[in-house]
Each structure stands twice: as C-alpha cells, then as structure tokens.
C-alpha cells in the first residue's frame, strides 16, 4: 500500500511540475524537475527524500503504521496529510523545506472522523486551506485531494462500479490506491469492464537519485507492463486521488462529482457540501436544549443544524450501503 501510494503521489508531482501531458521519452534529456521528483521517493530517512518509505512509516505511527504491519488506504491518506503539514522540528536551525508543493485535503465521513456513509468534500474547508497562506498571498495553492472509501465487505458492491469507472474520466483524476484483496496496486484507468493497474511488487535495485546527476539510469522507476483485471474484482477498500492545480480545476471537479452523485441512485462515492458542519445525532428522552433553553421532547431526535427532526419522519432517508 505504501508503494502504491508513492506511485499516486509521484503522478501528482508530475502533474504539478511537468504537466499532465508530459511523457517520458528515452531519446530526449529529462528536465531537472524529473530527477527532483524521483529524489522525493529515495529509500532514505533523510529530508532530501521526504516521501521515502522510511519517512512515511515514521509519520504514520500515529495511524498504526509499522514495518511489516497491514496498512489500509485510510491510514496512508492521513499519513500523507500529516506529512504535508509537517513543521520545523524543535532545535532545527534552518527552515524546513515544505514537504509537498501542494496542499493535501482528505475527505472524511464527517467533521470528526469516519462514521460510515459517503465521505463529504467540504468546499469551505478546501477554500480555507488553499487561500490562507503564511505570506498573505491570495493566490490559490495547488491541491491534492484524497478520498478513502470502503465500498463493500468481502467484495465491492456492484452499485458503485459505474461511478467508480466514471471517476477515471475526470481530468483531475490521479487514479486509485487499491488493488486486489491482500495485494495493493495502483489503478490508473479502465477499458470496458477491465481496470488497468501498475504492480509495485516486483523488486528493483535501490538507486541514489540526485538532481545534479542526470546520467543515472532511472528505468527501474518506470513500469514496462500495464496489467489488467476485472473492475469488480478489486478490493472494496481503496482511495481516490485528484489533483487541482488551479481554483477552476477544483470548481470543475466539484461540478463533475455533484453530477455523478445525482446519478448514483442513492449510493454516491462521495458528496460535495459547502460547510463542514454536519448534523449530529443525540438521544434525548426528556428534553432538547438549544440557545433559548430546554425544550421538552417525548421521542428520540436528530439535531441537525440546531433544528430538531423526528427520527420517524426521516427514517426513509437512511440507507445501508
């Protein structure tokens, strides 16, 4: 899963520095940015390799990451988010270089964490993190969006397949961290009912990459074979990735995602909301308290944006997905 995540992050960096249309051509010299991207993922615990497997594991301790331990997409998404927000370490003399040249936003099930249901991408939160800069700049910061999902139990629920296939067509798509049950891969596209993927399980020679050494053979960082498998055979635990270079890209992503959710027949992959303030449930057999005091209630209720709603009247709106 870590290697699959590194693949998706590498694609985000390629889109950021070189553009989505960039392709590796063996008969042409590579730009310096290409080697800088590869250096990010060097197998070293140093600051020069901020997205190395060592640094990801170190930051991911908060989410249960440990060498040899099973790792899910959600934990890796939160690890990347934490790493992107890393600040200067105590006692460090020089200012630490920003780990990623973009902001990272993880869409969660609600404001406090994962409690089931479709994850919610809150536009207010995204605008805040992309515009509130330390240098008071009003320029929109590039954005990496990660959306961890669980789309079934032992196998993916068929009702999600159409929407999942459609996300690959989004111009902001970076693909999917997921794969087969028990074997993570990087899903990069679809063709009919087949999903195309890159497999990180082939052992490669460890290389030391430096932007100053452009003669290094980097072929082992690239896959020469694209594999495929049935879309409905992928593991239901996965994470979508999207990259938005400008604000217009984010607006377009929200429009496409909202349209996709409307066509989901009650089972969206994720939803778009303006505010992160979500309804909260409380069991109140005696009273409901608002700003004006305590109001008597005879039944359990939902508290949604400071309004009380009869559970029985909203029962039909809930689905088990």
Give tens-digit pLDDT for 58-95.
999 988 888 888 888 999 999 999 988 875 454 443 33
Residues 48 and 39: beta-carbon distance below 8 Å: yes
Interatomic CA distance for residues 59 and 68, integer angstroms: 16
pLDDT tier at 167 (50, 70, 90 boundaries)? very high
DSSP 236-290: SEEEEEEEESSHHHHHHHHHHHHHHHHTSTT--S-EEES-S---EEE--SSEEEE
Find the DSSP H helices in 108-213. Answer: 123-131, 161-167
Q: Is residue 32 scored above 60 in pLDDT?
A: yes
Find the DSSP H helices in the chain. Answer: 2-17, 32-40, 53-59, 73-84, 123-131, 161-167, 247-262, 311-314
pLDDT tier at 241 (50, 70, 90 boundaries)? very high
- Matching residue, tokens 């969660």: 108
pLDDT tier at 313 (50, 70, 90 boundaries)? very low
Q: List CB contacts of 301: < 8 A, sequence separation 6 or more.
A: 282, 284, 288, 308, 309, 310, 311
Residues 37 and 14: beta-carbon distance below 8 Å: yes
- Of 148, 147, 124, 145, the closest CA to residue 276 belongs to 124
pLDDT tier at 290 (50, 70, 90 boundaries)? very low
Is the model more confident about 281 or about 119?
A: 119
Q: Is residue 121 scored above 50 in pLDDT?
A: yes
pTM over 0.85: no
302 CB neighbour count, 10 Å cutoff: 17
């Amino acid at each position: 899963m870590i290697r699959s995540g590194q693949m998706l992050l590498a694609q985000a960096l390629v889109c950021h520095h070189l553009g989505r249309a960039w392709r590796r051509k063996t008969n042409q010299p590579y730009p310096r940015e290409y080697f800088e991207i590869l250096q990010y993922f060097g197998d070293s615990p140093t600051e020069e390799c901020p997205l190395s497997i060592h640094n990801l594991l170190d930051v991911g301790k908060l989410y249960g990451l440990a060498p040899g331990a099973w790792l899910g997409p959600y934990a890796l998404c939160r690890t990347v988010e934490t790493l992107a927000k890393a600040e200067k370490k105590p006692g460090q003399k020089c200012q630490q270089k920003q780990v990623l040249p973009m902001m990272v936003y993880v869409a969660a099930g609600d404001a406090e964490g994962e409690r089931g249901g479709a994850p919610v991408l809150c536009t207010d939160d995204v605008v805040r993190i992309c515009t509130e800069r330390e240098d008071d700049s009003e320029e929109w910061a590039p954005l990496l969006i990660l959306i961890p999902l669980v789309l079934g139990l032992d196998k993916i629920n068929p009702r999600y397949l159409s929407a999942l296939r459609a996300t690959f067509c989004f111009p902001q798509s970076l693909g999917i961290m997921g794969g087969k049950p028990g074997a993570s891969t990087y899903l990069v596209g679809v063709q009919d009912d087949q999903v195309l993927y890159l497999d990180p399980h082939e052992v490669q020679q460890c290389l030391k990459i430096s932007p100053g050494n452009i003669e290094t053979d980097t072929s082992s960082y690239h896959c020469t074979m694209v594999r495929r498998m049935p879309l409905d055979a992928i593991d239901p635990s996965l994470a979508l990735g999207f990259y938005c270079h400008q604000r217009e890209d984010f607006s377009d992503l929200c429009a496409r995602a909202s349209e996709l959710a409307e066509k989901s027949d009650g089972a969206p992959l994720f939803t778009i909301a303006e505010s992160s303030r979500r309804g909260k449930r409380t069991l109140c057999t005696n009273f409901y308290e608002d700003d004006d005091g305590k109001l008597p209630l005879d039944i359990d209720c939902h508290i949604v944006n400071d309004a009380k709603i009869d559970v029985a009247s909203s029962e039909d709106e809930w689905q088990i997905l």
